[in-house]
Amino acid sequence: MSLPTPRRRTPVRASLAQPHDCPRPLRRRILAALPLVEGLTPDQLDALDERILSFSWAAGDALYTAGDAAGHIYIVASGQVKLAHSWIDGRRRIVDVVGPGDLFGGEAMVEQFYLDSADALSTTCALRLAVADFRAILVEHPDLALRVLDNTTRQLAQCRQDAARHVGQSTASRVAETLLRLADKFGQPDDETGGTLINLTFTREDLAEMTGTTPESVSRVMSRLRADGLVSSGRRWTSVLDRAGLAALTA
């Protein structure tokens, strides 16, 4: 009698087991790598760093909730954060997943309250900057202000494109498109499968909220994708095996 194949342990790396401090050297490396602040001198980066506070959250913790007073901008130093919007009828949609170097909470620049909720998907360290300080920095550095405007414009355009594409799009197409996007942003070589491991801990419920469908529908699609050899997946992990095959589902 053949023995059952052992279940693969989740290959997604946790950032840390517990919430952690964000030391100044890490903050400086993150700031220096941000395209938004490209061109600032070391002294200017030091001045920016002095206005920043660092905080950490365990997986599942809320950084802020829709409706909270919007007084800060955030930059991910390590970990991942999901941004979700809730409707009055109870529907919830994950509008973005951000990782190291990404800026979020930008609505605080123009809104009194946060429009979306931000929750840690893994142990996360984020840098927090008061809106008043961020505005002062933009006044001091007009080039940086233009980059922020460009970044915000791209994010709004992406949201509109996503909404337009999802109208009439099948669940399989939505799931395939989302997996490809996550692989592009968080992917790394998967030595065991030869594919691209999405180094992001997310559940079927998360994927359903990213695609505007139900966990049951996502489970059916994922089962079909595995059967067709397009993905390999387990509890809270997914590896893309056939990018071309997934892309064909989005056409």
Q: What is the pLDDT of residue 46?
A: 83
pLDDT(232) > 60: yes
Q: What is the pLDDT of residue 120?
A: 94
Cα–Cα distance for residue pair 167/244, rounded to 1 Å: 23
CA nearest neighbour of 237 among 209, 204, 202? 202
Cα–Cα distance for residue pair 106/53, rounded to 1 Å: 17
| Segment 14-42 mean pLDDT | 66
More confidently predicted of 70 and 89: 70
Contact 64, 117 (CB under 8 A): yes
- Give the predicted TM-score (pTM) of the model: 0.80
Q: What is the pLDDT of residue 64?
A: 95
| Of the listed ranges 63-72, 84-93, 199-208, the one predicted with least confidence | 84-93
Write the CA distances from 123 to 59, 60, 139, integer angstroms.
5, 8, 34
| Segment 16-25 mean pLDDT | 56
pLDDT(27) > 80: no
HSE-up of 225 (CA within 13 Å, CB side)? Answer: 32
Tens of pLDDT, residues 151-205: 777 766 766 666 666 666 899 999 999 999 999 999 999 888 889 999 988 889 9
